[in-house]
Amino acid sequence: MPLGTLDSSPPPFFRQGPSALSKLVFFSTLAVLLMVGDARFRVTQPLRVLVASAIYPLQWLALQPVNWFHGSSQYFETVSSSQHKEAVAQYQLGLQSQRALQVEQLTLENVRLRALLDMRARISPPALAAQVLYDAADPYARKVIIDKGALAAVLAGAPVLDEAGILGQVTRVYPLVSEVTLVTDRNQVIPVLNVRTGARGLAFGESNSRSGALELRFMDANADMVAGDLLTTSGVDGVYPPGLPVARVLRIERRADSAFARIVCEPVAKMSSSLHVLVLHPQDGQVPKRPPETVTPAAVSRGVKP
């Protein structure tokens, strides 16, 4: 038989239904219609819910080995981490017990020394619990809003602290809320004391509002200051009570062309995650006022006006 006479089409015996091209066009059109109908009218939503409900048990069974594996691994990790935390807690409890045994003796010595030196007792200002509502909507300042205001006897200038240390200071009081400027704000200044050396200084919020750090300025380049030193409130400003933690020295930059060292400090309070805070009454209301100045006869004779 010549090759040209061969028929490439299948015999009638194998022909069943429409051609492959017709099937392709039909199912493609059906798929497009279903997609459009599902997107516009959600016609397949009941079918999707039915299929999802039907195969959920199979999905649950397939995920059980994975869940068991993760659960067992997390169990062993939790046990080891819990043991580590327990050891750390036991160590800290031992330190606290040692300090607690010395409290009564130190308190008695403190009372006797103050009585001997005729010094007035330290001020313990009243405190008010408050909650941080939200950050102030100012990208160039570091401020938060608390849920206590003038109706709760909050005063402007009141110190604010969390469980770790000084957080900031109340700068604006409204009837129901108050605005607290954090110590890391570039306009905040707080007198501090180096616990290790007893040296006093001024901690400024860094000019870079995004850094979240403090800068100890006007300190001599050869000042006794090392990384890790704890800085607390000195109490000489009449606002912050003395002895409250403020920051830790992070790094020290001593330059030959400057008489002062650049000391960067990290605040101990949780500036971005504090939720519950304490608002103290300003200390200036409890400190005796400065007596009026008296003019001596010698000053009067020189023509100094009272």
pLDDT, one tens digit for every residue, the chain (306 residues): 455 555 556 555 555 677 788 889 999 998 888 888 878 877 777 877 788 788 888 888 888 888 888 777 777 777 778 888 888 888 888 888 777 777 777 777 777 777 766 655 555 678 889 999 988 877 778 899 999 999 999 999 999 998 888 999 999 999 999 999 999 998 899 999 999 988 899 999 886 656 678 999 888 888 888 999 999 998 888 788 888 899 999 999 888 788 888 899 999 998 888 889 999 988 765 555 666 766 555 554 555 454
Written as six digits, the tokens of 300 are 């009067």
pLDDT given at position 110? 77
Structural domains present in the chain? 21-121 (no CATH), 127-285 (2.40.10.340)
Instruction: Dump strand ranges (E) for the chain.
Output: 127-135, 143-146, 159-161, 166-173, 178-182, 189-194, 200-205, 214-220, 230-233, 245-253, 260-267, 276-280
pLDDT given at position 50? 84
pLDDT given at position 36? 85
**What DSSP line would sit under 259-287, residue for residue?**
SEEEEEEEESS-TTT--EEEEEPPGGGTS
pLDDT given at position 69? 80
pLDDT given at position 82? 81
pLDDT given at position 206? 81
Q: From the centroid of its chain, how far is CA 163? A: 12
In angstroms, the CA 228 to CA 239 distance is 25
Written as six digits, the tokens of 188 are 């905040």
